[in-house]
Chain A
Amino acid sequence: MSEKSTNLSPDIQEKQSKIGYEFFRSFYSLLKTASLYEVNNNRYIEQATEFRQLVAEIFTEESNLVFAFKEGYFFLNDMRIRLDSTDNEAADYFKEKFDSLSISGFNIYSKADSREIDRFIFGFVHFKPPENNEEALEAFKERLEKLQIENITPIKVAEKHSQRMVSKDKIENLKLKARKTFFSAIGAVQDIVNSAKSGNRINIAKVKRTVQSMVDQIIENESIMVELTVLRDFDEYTYVHSVNVCVLSLVLGVHLGLDKKQLSDLGVAALLHDIGKINLPIELLNKPTAYDDMDWQQMRMHPIFGVKAILKTRGTDPSSIKAMATAYEHHIAYGGGGYPELLQKRIPCLFAQIVAITDTFNAMMSGRIYHARRMAGDEVITNLVNRAGTDFNPLLVKVFINTIGIYPVGSVVRLNNDEIAIVSRTNADMLEKPEVKVIADREGPKTEIKVIDLSKEEASGLYIKSVIDGDKYKIDPAAFIDFG
């Protein structure tokens, strides 16, 4: 959902956008403070005053205020609130709270006075929804009624825009959809490769639809798609790798705040980034040992082959040019160096900078052939961090780690209770405490896999003790993906 088009001047739009962002931050801070302090605490009073002033300012021009989360974005009175990755924690907080209540946001009317706002803040923060999610909204409404809150009303989530992830069926459906999309993307890459090999035009419309489906699912539930990226290629081509790079790039793109068109272009560029490898001999791609100078000489040609392949099979529309630039520059280092060797050094384009990170990340995580082995999660992150500023844009690395975590999905870890687990989901606000699947303990493999969210209270005291080299002990995270 994009912001509504208006006839407002850019100045007014900018002002509204700024107020929307201030409202989002101020509301979140107030709720967090209310979860820790009493209503008469100075810190709370200070923040509540600030929040009320902001609301009063909005009411000078608007009769009511609608704060809502729709189709992956937050809105204040239909003006999209532009967030960046530093707001992930707050965004996740609202999303989770809204999900648990089956609401998409609130209406705040100008009649709401300071006392009513206080009652609402505490009522909202400390409300524990019933187990049965279907009854959550009704129970919450009852609570608001008891607190005599009339001028702040929850907005029931529309069926079409439902963000609820709590229903088991829904999770299963999402997993099924994600699997279909993921495999469809593999099919799309296969078609691309076949078209490129035969010199036929790539059916980009089909590729775009697949990418768009990925974007929709990443916005709806990022972790389900990300979990699939632990899959690795089982033959000489790089179908799965390309899809993984696509998913990871889109996740990074979403966190950077790219719009749908940009995400679509980024996804296509990521899928095509290695297309030049179709011109390399299979023996080279399959080579199990380290590359020698001659091998590297050939390998270094694939970005140029990529440009030629895209030119041959696509047009010169901006979307294709971005794909060419990505294929051409994804091995050019951010600080200079890399390949192809340019006479005049320059920083690669944004998409190439993104794909450089996600390509390297996936190559290390999945242990593609010329990397010899799959690296452990901590090694991968360390590698990225150590190369930030030289090989990669340090800011993008930072945003990326914020999305994939300190222990990326697929990392094999040992918990402090000596259970062995696989990281299955990152917690954006607690990067060191992801969700894990416990697969073994000192006694051996578990017959039943247990999922633990280390950030939750029920897991308190549990933490990651160490990262394990999964390959060394034949622990393949792909074996534990729940495909739905």
Chain B
Amino acid sequence: MTASQDLKYLENEIEDLKRQHPKAAQEFLNLMIKAVKAKLVYPANSQLPTQFREEFGKRGKELVEEANGIGFKITASTISYEDNVIYENSNRAENFAHVFFRDGVTGLRFLSGIAPDELGRFVDLLAKMMRTIYVDNDMATLLWEENFDNIEYDLIDDGLEIETFEYSTDKFKPSILFGSKDIEEYFLNEGDISLSELSEDSGKDPKTTPFRGPAYSRLTQKSHQMLNRISEFSAEEKKELAELLAADAGTNYTEYLLMMIFEIMGMEKELAGYTEVLGFVGKVLDGFIAAGNLSGASALLERLQEMSSVLKSMKNPRAEKIEAFLFECASKEKIALLTKALNEQKEIDLGNLQLYMSKLPWAAIDPLITALGELEEYRARQIICRVLVDLARDHIELLARGLDDVKWYVVRNVVWIMGEIGDPKIINYLKRTIRHPDYRVRYETLNAAARVKAEEAGDFMVLALSDPDFKIQALSLKYMMKHNYKRALAAIENVIKDKTFKNRPPELIREFLEAYAELGQTRALPYLKTLLGKKMFASSSDERMRHYAALALGHINNQEAVLMLRKLASSKDSRMASIATKALSMDKGEQK
């Protein structure tokens, strides 16, 4: 090899190495981002965030070990590895560079020896910071608190730059300094202390020599004993200390806050002061909601409700204040705060959501309908729907406002809630949605109408027969049969006898014929007979109509129909024979 070839070879080797490591760094960063995003996107009960977190822990550690440590440089919009930009995002939202940079973190190093769990904790921290609600934490603070063994960071900390700070050390220097006269005075006054303990050998054994100072010479026996044993801690004392720390670690600070707040409320003597404290209670509630602490929020409302009922029984004017407060808890601002928290924090316990909302007054109906349109989580919407069933039972008119919502799924949810309420009053409201442009709303409308045990519900089924969507027509036929809506018979007849009837999908035709037979009984017989009549040049659709007509006969509880079916069951046409046999074996009760 020539010298230049040598050089080239070496250069290539270095380049190869450089290419390898950015690849590892890139993979490391990608895995990290994936794990964080999973935590932000998926609900708490999903396995994916845990899976991605573990994957990053395991593979991330391998990558760090392979590269003997991975370090990143960070700017407002980029993350670089050895001068190669491996992440770039100029938007502030969901920016994995800016989340570090905005708090002064300009470098990150993952050191060899890192544990998978350490990487997992890093993901948790990063996910926490990516959420906007944690305005009080900064990245540097959280990194400091986490105290990672194998993750180092560079920090530009201007927080402690106080060169221009208004205090100077001179300000703290005393203006009057003691002088010779003061010393002279001291020795004059106190120079000849004749306390008994001032013997020559004193100070050698602190256990036998009392401590110096006028105050110590006046100590009580008990205090003196304590001071003499100050450095000794008995096993009992050590245990007590451990218990003290354990008790503190186990404190439920939500309960503690509630306890303090209610104590302060109890101390307020004036009504004005009481009202002011209630304002603070509102802040506490907001704080709980914003942090997703819905168990705290429901505990707060429950205590207020209890307090209100006690005060009410005593005819205390404070009861009114509390009631006004509780009413305010249902405001659109409070519900909007809740919606925001639910959208941002996937780990909120939804069991507590139901508990909290069950304590809200009817005034929450309207804001909760708005929330239905804004909540990202399906399960949260489901819970709100269930809560609204109880809340709106006596306030259907308020609930009905949701039928005008521009979002089809909100309208569908409201229709579902109405169906669950099942009050005949809803029929009037459902008339507005049976012609809704979205078929899913119309479908739900039929379901809701079917749940109302009222004659008018049959009208919806009739209307649905002319719905452009065949699935809805089929559903309406099912409900007609199920609830035996006789008044729909004429409408079915009209459809069946229409020239275009045959153009419908075969399954729908079958549903029509069966519904017609079920509701019409003997009245349907002549038409079915016509259909069953053999044609010399029958098409396949004619044959199918015959089969469906035979099946429909099974719904007619009449001797003639049975005889007809028996005859068909013994025909040479094996397909027809099988269908007729099936129709004969139909349990009329079950059919319904």
Residues of A within 8 A of B (CB): 1-2, 4-7, 78, 84-86, 89, 179-181, 183-184, 186-187, 204-206, 208-210, 212-213, 231-232, 234, 240, 256-261, 264, 304, 307-308, 311-312, 314-322, 324-325, 328, 340, 342-343, 349-351, 376-379, 381-383, 385-386, 388, 393-396, 398-399, 401-402, 406-407, 413, 416, 418, 420, 429-433, 440-445, 463-468, 472-476, 478-479, 481, 483
Contacts and interface: CB of A to CB of B under 8 A. Distances in A.
B160 A312 contact: no
Nearest to A315: B287
Given A179-B169, A322-B253, A340-B267, 20 more contacts: A5-B115, A84-B238, A86-B231, A240-B172, A258-B245, A311-B280, A316-B291, A321-B254, A324-B257, A325-B256, A376-B214, A378-B211, A381-B227, A395-B240, A399-B241, A418-B191, A444-B183, A474-B182, A479-B177, A481-B169
B173 A478 contact: yes
Leading 6 A-B pairs by shortest Cβ distance: A378-B213, A316-B287, A463-B203, A467-B213, A444-B180, A350-B248
B160 A180 contact: yes
Nearest to B117: A5
Contacts of B291: 315-317
Contact of B203 (A432, A444, A483): A432
B183 A442 contact: yes
28 contacts: A2-B149, A4-B149, A183-B162, A184-B162, A186-B167, A208-B141, A210-B160, A213-B159, A234-B172, A256-B245, A264-B144, A311-B284, A317-B136, A321-B254, A321-B257, A325-B253, A340-B264, A378-B212, A378-B213, A385-B227, A386-B220, A401-B227, A431-B230, A465-B193, A466-B212, A472-B186, A476-B176, A479-B177
Contact of B169 (A257, A264, A325, A483): A483
Query: Which residue, A180, A321, A443, has most C-beta atoms of chain B within 10 A?
Result: A321
B140 interface: yes
A466 B214 contact: yes
Interface string B577-588: 000000000000
B240 A432 contact: no
A377 B213 contact: yes
B216 A378 contact: yes
B161 to A, nearest CB: 8
Interface in B248-269: 248, 251, 253-254, 256-257, 260-261, 263-264, 266-267
Contacts of A320: 136
A476 B174 contact: yes
Query: Which residue, A209, A210, A212, A406, has most C-beta atoms of chain B within 10 A?
Result: A209
B15 to A, nearest CB: 32
A234 B171 contact: yes
B240 A468 contact: no
A4 to B, nearest CB: 6
A398 B233 contact: yes
Given A325-B260, A343-B266, A385 B219 contact: yes
A385 B244 CA distance: 19
B10 interface: no
A186 B173 CA distance: 16
Interface string B192-225: 0101001000110010000111111011100100
Contact of A465 (B212, B215, B230): B212
Nearest to A89: B231
A410 to B, nearest CB: 13
B260 A324 contact: yes
Nearest to B104: A209
B219 A382 contact: yes
B215 A382 contact: yes
Contacts of A260: 144-145, 147
A483 to B, nearest CB: 5
A442 B193 CA distance: 14
A294 to B, nearest CB: 16
A304 B267 contact: yes
A350 B245 contact: yes
A457 B185 CA distance: 32
Contacts of B227: 381, 385, 401, 406
Nearest to A234: B171
Contact of A398 (B186, B226, B290): B226
Given A84-B238, A231-B172, A479-B177, A398 B230 contact: yes
Range of interface residues on chain B? 35 or more
Q: Interface majority SS on B: helix, strand, loop or mixed?
A: helix
A46 B256 CA distance: 51
B176 A474 contact: yes
Contact of B244 (A308, A378, A395, A464): A395
Contacts of A394: 226
A154 B137 CA distance: 40
B145 A264 contact: yes
B288 interface: yes
A433 B121 CA distance: 45
B117 A7 contact: yes
Contacts of A413: 212
A174 to B, nearest CB: 14
B109 to A, nearest CB: 12
Contacts of A184: 159-160, 162, 165
A308 B173 contact: no
B283 interface: yes
A420 B183 contact: yes
B223 A386 contact: yes
Nearest to A406: B211
A130 to B, nearest CB: 31
Given A183-B165, A316-B287, A473 B182 contact: yes
Interface string B110-143: 0000010110010000000000000011101100
Given A315-B136, A474-B176, A343 B263 contact: yes
B293 interface: yes
Given A342-B263, A465-B198, A1 B159 contact: no
A99 B478 CA distance: 87
Query: Which residue, B174, B195, B260, B266, has most C-beta atoms of chain A within 10 A?
Result: B260
Contacts of A445: 177-180, 183
Contact of A395 (B140, B171, B241): B241
B211 A432 contact: yes
B507 interface: no
B13 interface: no
A77 B326 CA distance: 57
A183 B169 CA distance: 9
B327 interface: no
Nearest to A468: B186
Contact of B233 (A86, A314, A429): A86
A482 to B, nearest CB: 10
Contact of A212 (B136, B141, B218): B141
B157 interface: yes
Interface in B385-399: none
B580 to A, nearest CB: 69
Contacts of A324: 257, 260
Given A204-B136, A420-B183, A479-B174, A467 B287 contact: no
A155 B510 CA distance: 88
A463 B167 CA distance: 37
A401 B216 CA distance: 14
A467 B215 contact: yes
B121 A442 contact: no
Contacts of B173: 478-479
B6 interface: no
A316 B293 contact: yes
Contact of A349 (B177, B248, B263): B248
B292 to A, nearest CB: 11
A349 B280 contact: no
B230 A473 contact: no
A324 B147 CA distance: 26
Given A316-B288, A395-B240, A445-B180, A466 B190 contact: yes
Contacts of B213: 376-379, 407, 464, 466-467
Nearest to A383: B215
Contacts of B177: 445, 474, 476, 479
